[in-house]
Amino acid sequence: MSVGLLIISHGRVGEALLDTAISVLGICPLQVEVMSIGQDCEPDVQIAEARRRIASLDHGDGVLVLTDMYGSTPGNIAGQMVGEHIAVVAGVNLPMLVRLLNYPQMGLEELVTKAVTGGRDGVMPYSPRGN
């Protein structure tokens, strides 16, 4: 068994990130679902859908929910999911997702740490050449 992964994002951001991560890695070693949240969504309906998807993703090892922006509608929907065996991390980006998919054998708490460090460590400035 492994941790399930649910991405809840604005529009098609989550789908694009997942497609790109799979393209980079060549595989998707975790069971992943993506929820695309539109501007005109009904949050209560989306919360129920997120709970349904989490139930289908959780095979005993828990579910990690990634969202794109803390405090946004997708982020608030994701935040409603926090609970026993369900962790939520905001700020999903490509380095975060690729890092997670490289460690499918890890448990939920370890994957939360990998998500945070992958996302944070993947943000850095480029230096001018020659410096």
Q: What is the mean pLDDT of each run of 10 residues along the chain (131 residues)?
A: 95 97 97 96 96 97 97 97 96 97 96 96 88 55
What CA–CA distance (Å, rounded) separates 101 from 91? 16
Does any domain span residue 13? yes
Tell me which residue range forms the domain holding 54. 4-116
Tell me if 131 is assigned to some domain. no
Yes or no: say if 87 and 113 are a contact pair by the CB < 8 Å rule: no
Domains held by the chain: number: 1
Tell me whether residue 122 is in a domain: no
pTM of the model: 0.94
Domain assignment present for residue 129? The answer is: no
- The answer to whether position 103 is within a domain reads yes
- Report residue 115 as tokens: 């998500």
In this predicted structure, what is the pLDDT of residue 130? 62
What are the tokens at 77?
Answer: 């929907």
pLDDT of residue 59: 95
pLDDT value of position 131: 55
- Our separate counts of H helices and E strands in the chain read 5, 4
The answer to whether residue 124 is domain-embedded is no
Rounded distance between C-alpha atoms, residue 121 and residue 107, angstroms = 21
Residue 128: alpha-carbon gap to chain centroid: 32
Half-sphere exposure of 123 (CA within 13 A, CB side): 9
